Amino acid sequence: MKILAGVFLLAVLAFAQRPVQEFETSAGAVKITPIQHATLVLEAGGKVVYIDPVSGGNYNALPQADWILITDIHGDHMDPKALPKISKSGTAIFAPAAVAETVKTATIIRNGETVHAGPFTIEGVPMYNLKRGPEPGKLFHDKGRGNGYVITYGGKRFYFSGDTEGVPEMRALKNIDVAFVCMNLPYTMPPDEAADAVRAFHPKIVYPYHYRGSDLNVFKSALAGTGIDVRILDWYYKS
């Protein structure tokens, strides 16, 4: 019994360390829990959506998924071994076609497409590199391969960028309440470029994520005076 109590206490402490964020909507609260790097869980209306679950994340005391969204084929976004950890009977996966080649149970959602999942509306948003790649003539993320996502619940729109530079489709987004925007080199973009893109679509609130090694003060300073609420969380906390 003492061992079980100790395990439960560790799980509770780990959960307590997570920087959980809550947002009020017309349909009730949305709770978003960062897990690691680009991995998070969104809870609302008694339903659960995971984005980019990978094996390195700590899922103790977190609920099982009703839906899983995967953005791209790279290992910090697509990890088939992690899916059973958070899945239950009836869990559905949405992903771009490139991911569905590996995750065979995924339902394909393409750039520009919209699906309805229970109380959520989910839009696939293009995510890609404009100029950065492993060698001349190649890009880390080709246009059309991956998806960012906009999830709408209770009249509020939540944007998750996935791996991208400040592409025109991001800059043209409208009425985003909360944005999670990537930044890291060489794969996506530096903080100053991320801030420039964020200024263009002007979400009410923005969180840097997928930022390993980036100077977040550059990002925050570049958005000073815009009226955008920049919130910085620790996505690499030890638990």
Q: Where are the domains of the chain?
A: 19-230
Question: What single letter denotes the amino acid at residue 216?
Answer: L
Burial class (CB in 10 A: 0-12, 13-18, 19+), 238: exposed
Taking only the tens place, the pLDDT of each residue in 5-54 is 444 434 444 445 789 999 999 999 999 999 999 999 999 999 999 999 99
Single pTM value for the model: 0.92
Q: Is the pLDDT of residue 239 over 70?
A: no
Q: Give the model's pLDDT for residue 17.
A: 77
Q: Give the model's pLDDT for residue 35.
A: 96
Contact 62, 83 (CB under 8 A): no
Task: For the chain, give the longest Cα–Cα distance.
Answer: 60
- Domain 19-230 matching CATH 3.40.50.1220: the answer reads no
Q: Is the pLDDT of residue 2 over 80?
A: no
75: pLDDT confidence band, cut at 50, 70 and 90? very high
Q: Give the model's pLDDT for residue 45.
A: 97
Q: Is the pLDDT of residue 137 over 70?
A: yes
